[in-house]
């Protein structure tokens, strides 16, 4: 039986199931001169290139949204809401 390839592309999406080592992990997340997205060092798809400033903007926006979401749950108190009366007309 032929060996299956451990890396390649399926429908334009890259995959890599080779055993990762530290050098490959670091070089995958830090690729100066490349775009914002680079191939994952292990698995399917793409990941952020931390050498690109746009990736840091994405991380900052995601962090701000998470911080805002976690803080907004403390400000609203559901016990202050008054009950609502629902009238159903059976005609």
What are the residue boundaries of the structural domains of the chain, listed by start?
A: 12-69
Q: Which pLDDT does position 2 carry in this prediction?
A: 64
Instruction: Judge if pTM exceeds 0.85.
Output: no
- Span 11-68, pLDDT tens digits: 999 999 988 889 888 888 999 999 999 999 999 999 999 999 999 999 999 999 999 9
Q: Which residue's entry shows tokens 């390649």?
A: 8
In whole angstroms, what separates CA 53 from the centre of its chain? 17
3-state secondary structure of 70: helix
Backbone angles phi, psi at 16, to 5 degrees: -155, 115
What whole-number distance in Å separates Cα of residue 49 and Cα of residue 53? 9
* pLDDT at residue 1, as a whole number: 54
């Amino acid at each position: 039986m032929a060996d299956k390839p451990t890396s390649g592309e399926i429908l334009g999406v890259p995959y890599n199931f080779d055993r990762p080592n530290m050098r490959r992990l670091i070089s995958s997340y830090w690729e100066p001169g490349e775009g914002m997205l680079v191939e994952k060092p292990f698995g399917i798809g793409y990941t952020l290139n931390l050498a690109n400033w746009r990736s840091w903007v994405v991380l900052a926006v995601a962090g701000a949204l998470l911080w805002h979401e976690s803080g907004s749950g403390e400000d609203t108190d559901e016990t202050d809401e008054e009950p609502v009366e629902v009238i159903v007309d059976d005609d």
